[in-house]
Amino acid sequence: MAKFTFVKNNQTTNLHTLKEQQMKTIRTFEDYREAYDHSTRDPEGFWEEIAQEYQWQQPWDKVLDWNFDEPSIKWYSGAKLNITENMLDRHLKERGNKLALIWEPNDPKEKFVRLTYKELHEQVCRFANVLKKNGVSKGDRVCIYMPMIPELAVAVIACARIGAVHSVVFAGFSAHALADRINDAQCKLVITSDGLFRGAKEIPVKRVVDEALESCECVERVIVKERVGWLPNMVEDRDVWWDDEIKEADRDCPPEPMDAEDMLFILYTSGSTGKPKGVVHTCGGYMVYTGYTFRNVFDYRESDIYWCTADIGWITGHSYIVYGPLLNGATTMMFEGVPTWPDPGRFWQVVDKYGVNQFYTAPTAIRSLMAHKIDHVLSYSLDSLRVIGSVGEPINAEAWNWYHIHVGKERCPLVDTWWQTETGGVMISGIGNATPLKPTFAGYPMPGVQPVLLDGDGNEIQEDDVEGYLAIKHPWPSMLRTTYGDHERCQKTYFSAFKGYYFTGDGARRDKDGMYRIIGRVDDVINVSGHRFGTAEIENAINQNEKVVESAVVGYPHPIKGQGIYAYVICQDGGADEEILKAEITETVVEEIGKIARPEKIQFVRGLPKTRSGKIMRRILRKVAEGEISNLGDTSTLLDPKVVEEIISGADHVE
Ligand code: PRX
C-alpha cells in the first residue's frame, strides 16, 4: 500500500498570542459568564465588538434592527464587506503558506490534497472568473451538486467572491429533488462532477443532473469537474469542463462589495409541510457568528488541524468546514469517504495520520462504529485530539460514553452542539474546556443566544428542572432572514406559533444547573441519521406510486440512525405480492427524494386512524411503531376505532 506522509503546518507562527489577545476568546467558565452577561445586557455592543475583528469595506450605521412579527432582522445595516476577503485575503500576509484545506480522499491509497491559503485564494479567484465568464453575476443563484472534493469548497467560496448566491444540494438527493431545488431558486448555473466515490461504490452524478435539467429551464450552463474518469454526456452549448475553463482563467478577482444584508446562500431543509424550504443566510451576521462560535466551541488554537466529518451539502459543512474555520485562518479538513470503509477504523486512522486536534461528527456515525469491535479504535493513539464534538441529533448516553471514553480518552471535552440550518451556527453547546460537561446535555447557550422554554400557551417557564418548547427570544447575527421566495412561509413556520419568539420545533429540558438537554422535534419532522425529513414530504413521495391510495409516515427509535421511517400505506386491491409492492414503494421514494429517505418499515393497512374531521392521529401511529400499544391514549374521537386494532395486529414493531 502506498504511504503518504503528512507534514503539519510548516508555517508555525507566534501569531496566536497576539491574535488571541485581540480577539474575544473564551477559555474559562469565568470568561463565558462574562461574555454571556455582556451579550444579554448589551447585545448590540457585544456583537459590535466581535464584528470589529473583521475587515469591512464600509462600516455599519446600525448594529441591529429587528422585529419578530414580520419578521425583519437586519444586522450591521449599511456596512459593506466580502466574506471571502475575511476568509482568504486577510490571512495572506501572515498565513499565506499555512495550510487552509486538507482533503482526504475516499480511497486511502489515493494521494491527499493540501492547499495553502495562497493556493486556495488563487483557486477561488480563478474559479470566480470562470463563473463570471459563464454569465454569473452578483445576485444570481448557482446550484452546486458535488461530491466532497476540494473543488466543492472552491466553488462555494468562488460564488461568495462574486456575490452569487450558492445553493448547495447534497449529492445524495435524487434528480427530482434536485430539480425542485434548482427551480425554486431559479438557478442559472449548476456545478457538478462526472461521478463520485463512496466507500467501495462509484455513483453517477452528472447523470442525475442531466435528468434533473430536463425539467429546469432556468439553467443555462453546467460546469463539470472530472472525479471518477467517466465520460458523461456533455450537452453542446450548455456543459463545459471545470479543468478546461480554469486553465484559462485569470488569477486576479477582486471581491465583490456586498451589503451586510445581501444574500450569501440558500440551503434547503425540510419542515412539517411537503415542500422543502430555502433557508436564506446573509453576509455580515453569518460571518460574525460562525467565526466567533467556531473559535470558541472548538477551543481553536493557531496551529491546530480541525476536522468536521459532515458533508458540505448540509449546514454543518457550510458553517464548520468552510466558513467558520477559514474566517479564523484555521486548517480545515474535508473527507470524501465513509466511516466504515475500507474498515471501521478509518476515522481514527485519519486522525492519527494528520494529527487532528478537533474532531466533529454525528451521533449516528458513532453508533455505527460502536457496533464494530473496539480494536478498530484502540489500535490508534488519538493523542492529538483535544476537543471532540457531536451534532445533528440527540446523542444517547451509550454513544456519549463510548465517544468520550474511547475516542476522547476521558481527557477531551465532548461538545454536544445543538443548532439548526435556520440558526446558521451553534446555539447551545459546551465551549471547549470552559464550560462543564454533562452526558447527553448540550449545556449552556452561546453568548448572544437567549433560549426560553415555553408552555403550550406560549408562557415562559421560569423554573429549572422542567421541559418545554424551545424558543429564542432575541435575534443573533446568523439567524435565517427569510425562506427564499416565500417570506410568509418563514413567518408562519418560525414566528407564529409563539408570538415574539423564534420557535425551533424542538422540545428541551432545563435542569437545576440551567443546562439544556434537547429532547427532539415536537413537529412532524423526522431526524434520520441527522438528516431532516418532513413526514408530509415522504408521504408525498410514497403517494407518487400509482398503486398507493394513501399513506402516513412517522418516526420510530432506531438503534443506529436515531430515528427510522415507518410508513403505513393503503394500496389499491389487486392481490400484488407484498414484498414486491414494498420494493416498488421504496424505489418511488428513492426516485422522488433519494436513498437517504428510504422507509425502514412499510406496513400495509386498510385504513388510517382518522378523526371525524379527517385528520390522521399520528400519535397513535407513532405508539404502534414504537411497540407501545398498551398506552394508546384516548381513541374515542376516531371515526373508526376498529382501524387501530387492525393496525396493531399487522404491526412490524420494534422489540
Ligand atoms: O432536532 C434538532 C436536531 O437537528 C435539528 C436541525 O437539523 P438541521 O437543520 O438539519 O441541522 C443539523 C445540524 C446543525 C434540530 O432542530 N439537532 C441538531 N443538533 C442537535 C440536535 N438535537 C439534539 N442535539 C443536538 N446536538
Q: Read off the pLDDT of residues 627-646 as tens digits, 9 standing for 90 and up.
A: 888 888 888 888 888 899 99
Closest-CA residue to 475 (of 89, 52, 77, 53):
77
Nearest residue (by CA) to ligand 1, atom 15, is: 420
Label the pairing between strands 113-116 and 99-104. antiparallel
Question: Taking the model in full, what pTM does it have?
Answer: 0.95
pLDDT, tens digit, for every residue of 533-570? 999 999 999 999 999 999 999 999 999 999 999 999 99
Q: Are 205 and 238 in contact (CB under 8 A)?
A: no
Closest-CA residue to 147 (of 200, 198, 209):
198
Tell me the three cell numbers of residue 253: 478577482
Å from CA of 561 to ligand 1 middle: 13
Return the higher-pLDDT residue of 371 and 574. 371
What pLDDT is recorded for position 12?
41
Nearest residue (by CA) to ligand 1, atom 22, is: 393
What pLDDT is recorded for position 1?
35
Mutational test site, ligand 1, from 314, 400, 527, 531, max ligand atoms within 8 Å of CB:
527
Mutational test site, ligand 1, from 422, 479, 516, 518, max ligand atoms within 8 Å of CB:
518
CA atoms 463, 467, 471, 476: torsion sign = positive
* Residue 2 pLDDT > 80: no
What pLDDT is recorded for position 521?
94
What pLDDT is recorded for position 401?
98
Q: Which atom of ligand 1 is nearest to the CA of 418?
A: 26
Å from CA of 393 to ligand 1 middle: 5
Q: ipTM of the assembly?
A: 1.00
Q: Is 521 in the pocket of ligand 1 (CB under 6 A)?
A: yes
**Alpha carbon distances (Å) from 219 to 146, 195, 265, 535, 567:** 16, 20, 18, 30, 35
Helix 578-592, helix 175-185: angle, nearest 10: 30
List CB contacts of 101: < 8 A, sequence separation 6 or more. Answer: 113, 114, 115, 120, 150, 153, 331, 332, 333, 334
**Dihedral-angle region of residue 140 (phi above 0 means left; psi in -120 to 50 means alpha; beta otherwise):** beta
pLDDT, tens digit, for every residue of 186-238? 999 999 999 999 999 999 999 999 999 999 999 999 999 999 998 899 999 99
Q: Is 506 in the pocket of ligand 1 (CB under 6 A)?
A: yes
Q: Which atom of ligand 1 is nearest to the CA of 531?
A: 10
- Residue 419's SS3 state is coil
Phi, psi of 409 (to 5 degrees): 50, 30
* Residue 176 pLDDT > 80: yes
Tell me the three cell numbers of residue 606: 386498510
The radius of gyration of the chain's CA atoms, rounded to the nearest angstrom, is 24
Name residue, grid cell 461568495.
160
Q: Are 267 and 315 in contact (CB under 8 A)?
A: yes
Q: Are 561 and 529 in contact (CB under 8 A)?
A: yes
Model confidence band, residue 281 (pLDDT cutoffs 50, 70, 90): very high
Average pLDDT (645-655) is: 77
Model confidence band, residue 7 (pLDDT cutoffs 50, 70, 90): low
Burial of 463 (0-12, 13-18, 19+ CB in 10 A): exposed
- Amino acid identity of residue 511, one-letter, is D
* Residue 15 pLDDT > 70: no
Mutational test site, ligand 1, from 173, 277, 312, 391, max ligand atoms within 8 Å of CB:
391
* Residue 273 pLDDT > 80: no
Q: Are 532 and 269 in contact (CB under 8 A)?
A: yes
What pLDDT is recorded for position 655?
44
Name residue, grid cell 440512525.
561
Pairwise CA distance, residues 481 & 67, whole Å = 11
What pLDDT is recorded for position 18?
44
Q: Are 445 and 472 in contact (CB under 8 A)?
A: no
Taking the mean position of all CA atoms in its chain, how far away is CA 317? Answer: 6
Label the pairing between strands 72-77 and 62-67. antiparallel
Nearest residue (by CA) to ligand 1, atom 3, is: 393
DSSP letters spanning 50-67 = HHTTS--SB--SEEEEEE
Q: Are 172 and 594 in contact (CB under 8 A)?
A: yes
Model confidence band, residue 574 (pLDDT cutoffs 50, 70, 90): low
Closest-CA residue to 126 (of 151, 103, 105):
151
Tell me the three cell numbers of residue 456: 403550550
Å from CA of 448 to ligand 1 middle: 19
How far apart are the two ends of the chain, measured CA to CA in Å?
Answer: 44
Q: Which atom of ligand 1 is nearest to the CA of 422?
A: 9
Q: Is 393 in the pocket of ligand 1 (CB under 6 A)?
A: yes
Å from CA of 317 to ligand 1 middle: 13
Q: Are 494 and 67 in contact (CB under 8 A)?
A: no
CB count within 10 Å of CB 546 equals 8
Mean pLDDT of the chain: 94
Q: Is 423 in the pocket of ligand 1 (CB under 6 A)?
A: no
What pLDDT is recorded for position 3?
44
Q: Across-strand partners of 192?
A: 145, 224
Tell me the three cell numbers of residue 151: 473543488
Pairwise CA distance, residues 281 & 266, whole Å = 6
Q: Which atom of ligand 1 is nearest to the CA of 532?
A: 10
Q: Is 262 in the pocket of ligand 1 (CB under 6 A)?
A: no
